[in-house]
Every structure is written in C-alpha cells, then in structure tokens.
Amino acid sequence: MRLGRIAQPEGLSFAIIEGEPGSLVAKEVPHLFQPEPTGREFTEDQFKLLAPTLPTKVVALGRNYADHVAEVFKESAEHLPPTIFIKPSTSVIGPGAPIRIPDFATNVEFEGELAVVISKVSKNIDPENWKDHVLGFVICNDVSSRDLQFKDGQWARAKGIDSFCPLGPWIETDLDKFDLDDQKINAYLTHDGERVQKQDSNTNQMIVKIGHILAEISQSYTMLPGDVITTGSPAGTAPMTPGDTIEIEIPGLGSLINPIERA
C-alpha cells in the first residue's frame, strides 16, 4: 500500500495513493497509522502530494556507501566509518516543492537515499525485528551544501537548511516489496533542458544494513511515530543550480522530483 499526504480542495488529508503518475487516485484515510478509507476520493487533478510524513526529526547516516565516501571525502570507507547526523523538521518539503538555495550555501548537491518511516515509539530496536518499528519506505533527497559541510565541520547547517530534505512521493508500506540487498537508486538531473542520469547505484553498496542502522540510532534517540531514518547516499551526487530539476527514482517506490530555486 502507498500512503501519502495531500492538499485537496477542502484541506489536507492523509490518503492511500493508487494508480500511476498521470492517473493517480487518492483515497482519504484518517491518519497514516489508521489507513481505513473514509470514502472520500480525489483524482490527480484534484490534489497535490505533500511530504507524506511530518517527522519530529530526520536522522541520517553519512558515509554509508563506499563509492560515495571515495567521491566526496577522497578517502577509503575503512578510514571513515558511517556517522550519524540530524536534519531538522523544518528542512522537510514534499514532492514538487522547490529546493531553495540561499546565497551562503554554495556547491549544493543532491543525495538520493532510501529512507524508512518509523511506526511507533522505538528505543533499542533489535536489528532482527526492525520491520516491527517501520511503517514503510520513502525516498529522501539529503540535499547538502558541500562548501558549508566542509567549512563547518558539523553537517547540521549544510544539510539542514529549510527545504533541504525533500521526502516522497509517498510511503510504501509493503516492506517485503524490495530486495534490500539489491535495490536500484537512480538520480536524474535536468539542467538547461537536458536530463542526465547522475546516480546509478544499488543498495548492495550499503555498508551498514537497515536493521543495524535502526538498532544503532535508536540506542541513542527515542524514535517517534512518523520520524524518518535515511540510510545514506550512494555515489553520483552532483551540484544543482537554480533552474534545474532533480529526480530521485527508486524503482517500485516511485520518483521524488523537485525544482531548484534561488532562496
């Protein structure tokens, strides 16, 4: 099942999203965690997809793909283990919303990532039972100003600026839909009207696997329902400039598309 959040003519709703882009149907439900249709339905021309969850925090794992560690840090992943950082709730935007780049954030890159949405208050998750704590998968674009990232040392600003955390287009709740050891992650950047594939990777490159990521993060932080954990970016990240459009695609999970604007 695909769960989303929508703006419709009468307000905001959570909804089951069915069909394919161009002929989507949204069947309203009371809540992400109570997905029984109310009977109200909207066709794609009647609604706009929003970020499917409103997390209190997005916890991210940096340096979790060896190929990305090599390209960004010019270092072997052996010497730079994965590290945890936080993107604040105010950085979250939905599909189609602009990523707005302020003047001081230079060299801004996309990072297409597979993320999970937490389903219940969770602490000390058992890595074997991680699915008991997850509502579903979502695509995350971990937008990052490389210049601020290296200048600040801490990544909270470079990766936490308003609009630097697109989430969407919806949450896939079928946790067995993917082979998590062999799931493609693609990113396509449209610049000057030309669409070029930039990320062409696979979760088989992940260093720490999902169960252990959730275990490690929930040792430190109580995770709340709707919170997001994103699992790191593979190689292929590249700079974006105002006027571009970035599309992160995870086959089976959909495409998260956002235009780039100057803030």
**Residue number with CB closer to a second copy (84 or 238):** 84
**Residue number with CB closer to a second copy (25 or 66):** 66
Tell me how far, at minimum, the Cβ of 55 lies from a second copy, in Å: 10
Tell me how far, at minimum, the Cβ of 107 lies from a second copy, in Å: 15
Number of Cβ atoms within 10 Å of the Cβ of 242: 14
DSSP string, 46-110: G-EEE-S---SEEEEEES-BHHHHHHHHSS-TTTS--EEEEEEGGGEE-TT--EEE-TT--SEE-
**Residue number with CB closer to a second copy (60 or 189):** 60
- Distances in whole angstroms, Cα of residue 262 to Cα of each of 143, 145, 164, 237, 256: 14, 14, 13, 20, 20
Answer whether 91's CB lies under 8 Å from 167's CB.
Answer: no
Tell me how far, at minimum, the Cβ of 109 lies from a second copy, in Å: 17
Tell me how far, at minimum, the Cβ of 171 lies from a second copy, in Å: 21
**Residue number with CB closer to a second copy (42 or 155):** 155
- Distances in whole angstroms, Cα of residue 58 to Cα of each of 7, 44, 146, 202: 22, 28, 19, 22
**Residue number with CB closer to a second copy (91 or 258):** 91
Which residues bind to a second copy, rule: CB under 8 A?
A: 56-57, 59, 62, 83-86, 88-91, 102, 104-105, 123, 152-157, 160-162, 219-224
Tell me how far, at minimum, the Cβ of 84 lies from a second copy, in Å: 5
